[in-house]
Amino acid sequence: MPAFQYTALNKGKKETGSIEAGTEAEAIKILREKHLLITDIHSQKSAGFSLHLARSVPMKEKIIFTRQLSFMIKAGMPVVQALTALKEQTESPILKTALEKIMQEVKGGEPLSSSLAKYPKIFNPTYISVVASGEKSGKLEEVLNNLADQQEKDFDLISKVKSAMIYPLVILIALLGVMFLIVFYIMPQLESVFKDFGGELPASTKFLMSLSSNLRKYFYIYFSIIILLIVFSKQFTKYPRIRLWVDKLRISLPILGMMNKKIYMARFTHTLSMLISAGLPVLEAIKISGEVVNNSVYQKSFNDLFKGVEGGVPFSELLKKDKNFPPMLGHMCSIGEQSGNLDYVLSQIASFYEKEVETITRNLSTLIEPILMILMGIGVAFVVLSVLGPINSITNNI
């Protein structure tokens, strides 16, 4: 039986260990029964042997699958027949392989949610819980349609953030390119001129010459270190202290930190709204919704929410007391609790934060551009003074 390494929060304290289970989904279920809030879980076996574990399915494919499955069931098509049709038309070989096995299991009498749960790299816990609630309530086509809507919103949100980061990334690459030319081509040619000059060089010029010489001499060492850091960065963040530091940085950075917080709130409230609307108990919905926010700083808050609601404290009161949640969220949820429309209120809050993120991403280039220009200006001024200053002195002496 395969073993799984996990990291979880147990009464607010981080806990790591391993557990044996048939699948990752089974391991998650066992850990949840122990009232653990899972932050990370992965197989201890070497990756790459199982097709559905080694790679995942593109979000677009999952959205199309979910939407079409909803339409087919609503039209009166049996689930097995719908899965067969979707298997034949999907372009993803990974999803096609998974659907073949899922179809056979459902045909043999296993619930759709249980079959989907055996492919955690394709269908996350939120997806499984929503499908399971749809099966219990007899509204599978409705919850699948809502699930597809959420997937589309998540996809659009991620796409907008990525698009907004293109301009700053291009500027950063251009800046690095200029620095590369100065260090590896311009400074080596000027070194001999400065040495023949014989005078005392400015401290900035000495620093630039020393930096250029050092980088050229040990270029392959530095380059190898950077590549190794990039390759193993994911492994480093598995250490609780490093991950906590990185997660704190994500929500503390100017502009980007504010955007990340709004993204977390949008995903949390939208998922919670969908799960409550699908008929899940609030306690279970909170646990699952917290898992969509991949930030250890917020995981502590979600664990406190779960324990508080479990102890009988109103959900809105807990939100008001936690500084990681904006005051508006607690007040709005209080109205939702009093009116009995918490899922609707959460949906409206999610829409608000999604629009906020859209506004930030639309203006991100405008917000970051002055910072980039200032940094580039400082860099250019430093290089100009370091290079042109001695050249000007040489010219005057001649």
DSSP readout, 101-162? HHHHHHHTT--HHHHHTT-TTTS-HHHHHHHHHHHHHT-HHHHHHHHHHHHHHHHHHHHHHH
CA distance 264 to 292: 8
Question: What are the residue ranges of CATH 3.10.20 in the chain?
Answer: 3-46
pLDDT, tens only, 294-340: 888 888 888 899 889 888 888 899 999 999 999 889 999 999 888 88
Question: What are the residue ranges of CATH 1.20.81.30 in the chain?
Answer: 56-137, 165-398
% pLDDT > 90, the chain: 5
Strand partners, 37: 9
CA distance 79 to 72: 8
Is the confidence at residue 113, as pLDDT, over 70?
yes
SS3 content of the chain, % helix, strand, coil (to 5): 75, 5, 20
Helical axes 282-290 vs 296-310, angle rounded to 10°:
170
pLDDT given at position 364? 74
What tokens were used for 102? Answer: 């899922």
pLDDT given at position 196? 67
pLDDT, tens only, 14-36: 677 788 776 666 777 787 777 77
CATH of 165-398, one of 3.40.640.10, 1.10.3720.10, 1.10.10.10, 1.20.81.30: 1.20.81.30
CATH of 3-46, one of 3.10.20, 3.40.50, 2.60.40, 1.10.287: 3.10.20
Report whether 119 contacts 52 (CB < 8 A): yes
What tokens were used for 77? Answer: 């098509």
CA distance 376 to 370: 10
What tokens were used for 347? Answer: 């949906």
- Residue 267: name the closest of 144, 188, 356 by CA: 356
Architecture (CATH level 2) of domain 56-137 = Up-down Bundle (1.20)
Q: Which band of pLDDT confidence, cut at 50, 70 and 90, is reported for residue 51?
A: very low
Q: Which residues contact 367 (CB under 8 A, 6 or more apart)?
A: 255, 360
Question: 200-232 burial by CB neighbour count: b if 16+ within 10 A, else e?
Answer: ebeeebeebbeebeebeeeeeeeeeeeeeeeee
Alpha carbon separation from 334 to 271, 324, 339, 342, 387 (Å, rounded): 18, 17, 9, 8, 63
pLDDT, tens only, 213-262: 888 888 888 888 888 887 777 777 677 788 888 889 888 888 788 888 99
Q: Which band of pLDDT confidence, cut at 50, 70 and 90, is reported for residue 349?
A: very high
- Angle at CA of residue 84, ends 78 and 90, nearest 5°: 130
Q: Which band of pLDDT confidence, cut at 50, 70 and 90, is reported for residue 52?
A: very low
